[in-house]
Amino acid sequence: MAQRLDYSDGYYYGEVEGGEENGFGIFYWNSGNRYEGDWLNGQMHGFGTMYYANGDKYEGYWKEHAKHGQGAYYYADGDTQFGYWSEGSYQGFDDPDDAGYDDGGSYYDDSDDSYDYEPTAKQSKARNRLRRGLGGGSSKPTKKSAPKASGFGKSSGTGNKKGKGKLIGRIVLKSICCLFGLGIIALALLQFFATEGQVPQEERIAILVSQSVSGFFACGLWLFYYGTIVALKKAGLNIREDLKDPSFGEIITVTVTETTYSDGSKKRESESNIIAVIFLLLFKFVLVFGFIQIYYAILAPILGPISLIKDIKKLRTEY
């Protein structure tokens, strides 16, 4: 029977044995991350999927809370990384030892291409999808059929050409925003010097400062809009997790009152707090969305140019 275990950083809902997570279960972190899969003695161990708050996803094997064995990491930007992990570290497409890779001793050992227990239909389907991504019908990938890795072991699902195109597209967008912002600052400086002696000094300085701030924020304009998308997803995820929470129904109450009159007739009236609950969820959505938007509004002008520089360096080193 499924049980719920509460922790300071989130809660677990699934099979429990001996007061610990054992079997199949889901852990919801307050950060927005979510793990669905096998557990052993309170740790992620076996086959499972981790959904990260930033949109990334890892599907594969785990050992004692770490990625260990075959896996596929799906990045939010569309890139995909197939291969093997060992205690959380990516090892590449080759099996770390020629004799076969053990996922931890209790779930799967590909030395004889067999399971130590019969997997569920859902797990079998996911594992077959992993095998196809790794390049064949067997659990061990071949270099020819596996996707070609880029410099950091990260590869696009359809090859490096697509990944390079996306990267160039991001660089162009970020460059336009940065140039637009610098252009605003340059025009502000020209206006400041051109109006010397014609406009009061205090007014000239005020105009220069306000336009420079606008130009500064324009440099990170793309990141601010990206932050809007992130805020919508994050706020929506919080609401969905509340609705999926088995205990959510407990806060919805219906009060029934019965009145008996002197003539013996009765009148029943019911009152529900469902409207208040809906407003509570909407308030939470707006609160989460607002906090994330403020975060990006403050940091976008700083992180925007930094991100552009990183993408240019990545283009030069990986492609």
| pLDDT, tens only, 102-111 | 444 444 444 4
Strands 57-63 and 108-109: unpaired
121 and 47 in a common domain: yes
* Domain count within the chain: 2
Give the pLDDT score at 121.
53
Structural domain for 221, as ranges: 161-252+267-318
Ranges of residues in the chain whose predicted pLDDT is under 70? 1, 93-163, 318-319
pLDDT digits (tens, 9 = 90+) for 149-192: 333 333 333 345 556 788 888 889 888 988 998 899 999 899 88
* 257 in any annotated domain: no
Query: What CATH number did the domain enclosing 36 receive?
Result: 2.20.110.10
235 and 103 in a common domain: no
141 and 6 in a common domain: yes
CA–CA separation, 281 and 5 (whole Å): 23
Give the pLDDT score at 99.
34
* 262 in any annotated domain: no
Long-range contacts of 270-277 (CB under 8 A, 24+ apart): 277/251, 277/252
> How long, in residues, is the chain?
319
* 259 in any annotated domain: no
Q: Among 74, 81, 12, 18, which Cα is nearest to 49's?
A: 74
Give the pLDDT score at 187.
92
* 304 in any annotated domain: yes
**Last-in-domain residue among 157, 180, 213:** 157
Within 10 Å of residue 191's Cβ, how many Cβ atoms?
Answer: 14
Long-range contacts of 238-246 (CB under 8 A, 24+ apart): 238/32, 238/284, 238/285, 238/288, 239/281, 239/284, 239/285, 241/28, 241/34, 242/281, 242/284, 245/28, 246/4, 246/13
**Last-in-domain residue among 116, 133, 157:** 157
271 and 168 in a common domain: yes
* 16 in any annotated domain: yes
**Last-in-domain residue among 157, 177, 192:** 157
178 and 72 in a common domain: no
201 and 69 in a common domain: no
224 and 93 in a common domain: no
> What's the one-letter identity of residue 234?
K
290 and 190 in a common domain: yes
Q: What DSSP element (H or E) covers 219?
A: none
Give the pLDDT score at 87.
80
> What's the one-letter identity of residue 147?
P
Give the pLDDT score at 51.
92
120 and 40 in a common domain: yes
